[in-house]
Structure 1
């Protein structure tokens, strides 16, 4: 659910101190229309913008729906002034989220051609203030949110290991977390992957490794049979290379590019009773 305070901040940023553009009388109908095919996301935010302005929602496709160019994504009715005020904010939010969902959907489709079980996950490389929108967009595209924030999982990275050592870091956090909290340890070699598993990691993150090295690490850990251990590959993985990583047998592939590099889906907003 989008809070009113968040919606107001989005609108106030665009309206400024005095709207000199949209003093238009009467009522009208507005349609948010796709200019290219993709996967829709962010409609909760788009709806919230118009509802906050007192505009009625006539039609909205669900998040995760596949659309073609020319399809109506959202249709609204109300005061022309209010619709025009909400137009750009809604277009920007839905376009941004739909771009993430579309990119995620493409990555998932490519990865699943190689592995039926691999999960495609986002990272914390999100836009401040828009993480919820972006993470939900990943889910709409068939991906996994990964951890939503620092409270959801311990991720032991190179800086933690530099400060405490690998085994010491795992022991340190294991003593301080709930039984329900998982520990994910980032490693950069096969030997350290084994060390992390032996130390009690729930997930071993194979960072910045080639597909061949990831496969070696996955095979080595499977032979050691740590029972329930998950493997995750991350670091510079793209749409062009994700199939190679999926073929290694890794359980999770996490990609910052799902959120920080996805282009917005091209959308247009049209008004008028004849739309």
Structure 2
């Protein structure tokens, strides 16, 4: 009988199966995945790994559990480099168990808590218990407890930095996005991201934008067409570029970048779904909104700051495109602290 994924033993990262060389571990969930999944268990490669309940929570959030697992493995494998956490192994007894708390050290919006759990799940050699005090998208305050985990101390400390790297980074994006969303309150405009993302982390970073109250632009080059200046030059004109895309991909939404007001009417005549106003002033943006009169969606890009965001939004533009959300947001400071067991470790939480 084929075992379920939750019946399989978790492999200690940096080690293969008994009798298997470390470098022989295959990528059952993808080349970066350290689960070593192959035909030994007769499993579909997509079924290895995370606790089913955690996988469902990730899927409900619009994330691919397999991709999250791959990222978790990649982060841990990079940290261990096929070895062990020498400091932790040398200083912590193998059977030591403790509770640790992920705690916000500054105010912000949190994102990536379940992803931190995924990192723990690929490291922990035994079951671990979690107590969830906050959810992604929550505004948190300095000193607020976000997630408590009880398991082997060695596993906690080995997973600590990788889990925090992802959690702090994603929470930083969510926090920055929340500031923009707050600035746009009372208007119909929405802040949204771009494809200026960290390679391999796009899905997570765009998820963090959603946690912060923003919306996503296209996830990939195949989702929609965005005709920019270089496409126009290469195709011999904006109209020619637009028609080429429409002919080749008739069902794909098309967005066209313009940098002058006189370019808008020809683009509308071609049937653009969305027009990107590149480096328009607020006054020019207001003129563009009046000219388009609802015939297409409008997106502002360039010149945008938190300070002038309300002015742009007041023009009636639909979106403000902010690449800095994903490429420049500072991390949110979150720490992992072991509890002093002599003063109580708290109640047992949910098993993962």
Q: Distance in 2 between matches of 1:103 and 1:149?
A: 22
Given the alignment, which residue of 143, 166, 177 partners 1:93?
Answer: 166
Q: What is the aligned partner in structure 2 of residue 170 from structure 1?
A: 242
**Corresponding position: 1:47 with 2:117:** yes
Q: Distance in 1 between matches of 2:215 and 2:209?
A: 7
Q: Distance in 2 between matches of 1:90 and 1:73?
A: 13
Deviation at 1:211, TM superposition (A): 1.0
Max Rg structure: 2
Q: What is the aligned partner in structure 1 of residue 285 from structure 2?
A: 214
Q: Distance in 2 between matches of 1:241 and 1:21?
A: 49
1:182-239 deviation digits (Å, cap 9, x = unpaired): 10000000111222111111001001111111111111111xx63xx10111124121
How do 1:76-155 and structure 2 match up within 5 A?
A: 76-113=149-186, 115=187, 117-155=188-226
1:21 match: secondary structure: helix
Deviation at 1:6, TM superposition (A): 2.1
Q: Is the 8 A contact 1:233 1:253 kept in 2?
A: yes
1:8-56 deviation digits (Å, cap 9, x = unpaired): 1111111223221211221111111001111110112111001122333
Q: Is the 8 A contact 1:43 1:60 kept in 2?
A: no
**Corresponding position: 1:158 with 2:225:** no
Q: Distance in 2 between matches of 1:135 and 1:63?
A: 13
1:142-192 deviation digits (Å, cap 9, x = unpaired): 10011111111100000011111101111111112252x210000000111
Q: What is the aligned partner in structure 1 of residue 34 from structure 2?
A: none
Q: Is the 8 A contact 1:35 1:69 kept in 2?
A: yes
Structure 1 residues without counterparts, runs of 5 or longer: none
Q: Distance in 2 between matches of 1:57 and 1:191?
A: 58
Q: What is the aligned partner in structure 2 of residue 251 from structure 1?
A: 318
Q: Larger relative contact order (C-alpha < 8 A, sep ≥ 6)?
A: 1
How do 1:181-260 and structure 2 match up within 5 A?
A: 181-222=252-293, 226=295, 229-260=296-327
Q: Distance in 1 between matches of 2:65 and 2:306?
A: 31
Q: Distance in 2 between matches of 1:142 and 1:5?
A: 26
Q: Is the 8 A contact 1:50 1:56 kept in 2?
A: no
Deviation at 1:136, TM superposition (A): 0.2
Aligned residues: 268
Q: Is the 8 A contact 1:2 1:45 kept in 2?
A: no
TM-score by structure 1 length? 0.93
Q: What is the aligned partner in structure 2 of residue 269 from structure 1?
A: 336
Name the structure where strand makes up a greater proportion of residues: 1
1:216 match: secondary structure: helix
Q: Distance in 2 between matches of 1:238 and 1:13?
A: 36
Q: What is the aligned partner in structure 2 of residue 6 from structure 1?
A: 71
